[in-house]
Chain A
């Protein structure tokens, strides 16, 4: 158990190091970062001065080492556009993104679990077909289009919800739903298929043979076991959810990290892009680490294996 946790931690650290290398090299994809960061038409003297100032003349390993040392201290350089340190700029927008992604995850789980269970207990019946239909739709719909259609319906036509920005609960409903739809589709399928498996298990038959009511058997015996894979999948999907947030934040001008990063990408504000990619990827690695450890705690069988 301890060996497993140690090994898992070591892997996570290794991957985060890899993340730092990729974030670092993002700037070098086009060759000369000075050319990306300076406005077009900069003179050779300006470019040379910029290169010397930013240390772009040093060998790459030296530059990477400097990047890493600064990153550890939370220094990702100054935003070219905002003239401030990039990390605080991103940190200030994290709560908005967290609010959105957590709401989306909760929404997806709260909808998918009952739908998946109902589909499993009513296989082949209308409820099942409906659930599978919803899942297929959710899996195939472009979430940004769904977002626009929701705006058209709930905000423009009916005037029920605000079209954009962050404010009260009404602001979060549409963007969270748009992010949640793909995850919900996936989870509904997952809950359904694991529930079907669980309901065929011996312990469920035993519970039924004892004369327990079906509702009790389903919710107290089969469901808890079916939820274990759900934890892993939700954890693994965290990266996709963040990705969804990037797009959806743009549609609703939600003032989060996603919108900020897209703007930084379009403005070629590379210190911000670097910091943002690094922080979001690290967050995904840490979430996956936590999920893996949680999994061990939830399922004692893995501790041995």
Chain B
């Protein structure tokens, strides 16, 4: 499973990186002479546009390949930004305890109270939909889980003998956190990060689907789907393929995440 996941993720990463080489045509180039061409295996289809064309004659395959860039960039960066903020918050809350802990965890509760997609939609609509804002907004929906998990782990680690020993040797809090606590929470963070990348891809595509993703003409999977919706009965492939691309990518990342979890935490392997 983890192998299949790694393979899928690898393919998507390559597609994103090598999009200009892999694409057949310019993804935003319109060609009104080949509007709504079906995929190659259907009658009328040709290998010139293997997955067909959309209502503006743009090549669906090329747009999919370029769309991988947006999905991956936003999700990887947002999950990373969320991880940095969340891990820092969790370390501080768990290690210092007391008032810092209370305040941080209340903010986590507060953030979790909002239907995240609604909050993201409202904020993006206000700040404007561009790559930077989307990354920030998505990070806003993901940092809480790191904070919670890291806080819990840190609470346990703080009392462990090796940490007390380092403290007895006179190490500062920052050194204890950086050198002794952080390395011990990295494994679960990696697993969460992977699964969060998958979740952010789903949310970003939903935002894009609703018209609040990276603005046109940049091809995104979510907006391709939204555009395909209007041609569902005559050209279903426009909506089908981007959805499949999201599904397969997310599935691959989830496989990988599950595999990583098994690898890093053998105790869980017995359960699932």
Which residues of A are in contact with B by a Cβ distance under 8 Å?
A: 11, 14-15, 18-19, 22, 26, 29-30, 36, 136-137, 139-146, 148-149, 151-152, 156, 189, 193, 196-197, 239-240, 242-244, 246-247, 250-251, 258, 261-262, 265-266, 268, 273, 276-277, 280-282, 284-285, 288
Which residues of B are in contact with A by a Cβ distance under 8 Å?
A: 106-107, 109-110, 112-119, 121-123, 125-127, 198, 202, 205-206, 209-212, 225, 228-229, 232-233, 236, 239-240, 242-243, 246-247, 250-251, 254-255, 271-272
A247 pairs with B209, CB closer than 8 A: yes
Return chain A residues, CB-CB under 8 Å to B109: 11, 15
A148 pairs with B114, CB closer than 8 A: no
B232 pairs with A152, CB closer than 8 A: yes
A239 pairs with B115, CB closer than 8 A: yes
Return chain B residues, CB-CB under 8 Å to A36: 126
The smallest beta-carbon distance between B247 and chain A, in angstroms, is 5
CA distance A22 to B54 in the complex (A): 41
The smallest beta-carbon distance between B125 and chain A, in angstroms, is 5
Q: In the complex, which of the residues A146, A258, A277 contacts B122, with contact meaning CB atoms closer than 8 Å? A: A277
A30-B126, A140-B247, A142-B246 provided; 8 other pairs, C-beta below 8 A? A136-B251, A136-B255, A142-B247, A142-B250, A145-B242, A239-B116, A282-B113, A284-B115
A266-B232 contact, Cβ under 8 Å, with A145-B239, A148-B243: no
CA distance A242 to B117 in the complex (A): 9
Chief secondary structure at chain B's binding surface = helix
CA distance A22 to B120 in the complex (A): 13
B206 pairs with A277, CB closer than 8 A: no
Return chain A residues, CB-CB under 8 Å to B247: 137, 140-142, 145
The smallest beta-carbon distance between A129 and chain B, in angstroms, is 11
The smallest beta-carbon distance between A282 and chain B, in angstroms, is 8
The smallest beta-carbon distance between B74 and chain A, in angstroms, is 15
The smallest beta-carbon distance between B99 and chain A, in angstroms, is 14
B254 pairs with A243, CB closer than 8 A: no
A145-B246 contact, Cβ under 8 Å, with A196-B271, A247-B209: yes
Return chain A residues, CB-CB under 8 Å to B117: 243-244, 246-247
B114 pairs with A247, CB closer than 8 A: no
Return chain B residues, CB-CB under 8 Å to A242: 115, 118
CA distance A100 to B251 in the complex (A): 27
CA distance A288 to B212 in the complex (A): 29
28 A-B interface contacts by CB (under 8 A): A15-B110, A18-B106, A26-B123, A30-B127, A140-B250, A142-B202, A142-B243, A145-B246, A148-B228, A148-B232, A148-B239, A152-B232, A152-B236, A239-B112, A240-B116, A242-B115, A242-B118, A243-B116, A247-B209, A262-B121, A265-B212, A268-B125, A273-B122, A277-B114, A280-B114, A284-B113, A285-B113, A288-B113
The smallest beta-carbon distance between B204 and chain A, in angstroms, is 10
Return chain A residues, CB-CB under 8 Å to B272: 189, 193
Most-contacted residue by chain A among B119, B225, B239 (CB, 10 A): B119
A261 pairs with B113, CB closer than 8 A: no
The smallest beta-carbon distance between A12 and chain B, in angstroms, is 9
Return chain B residues, CB-CB under 8 Å to A247: 117, 206, 209-210
A266 pairs with B125, CB closer than 8 A: yes
Most-contacted residue by chain A among B118, B225, B250 (CB, 10 A): B118
The smallest beta-carbon distance between B71 and chain A, in angstroms, is 11
The smallest beta-carbon distance between B271 and chain A, in angstroms, is 5
B209 pairs with A156, CB closer than 8 A: no
CA distance A99 to B112 in the complex (A): 23
Q: In the complex, which of the residues B115, B225, B255 contacts A280, with contact meaning CB atoms closer than 8 Å? A: B115
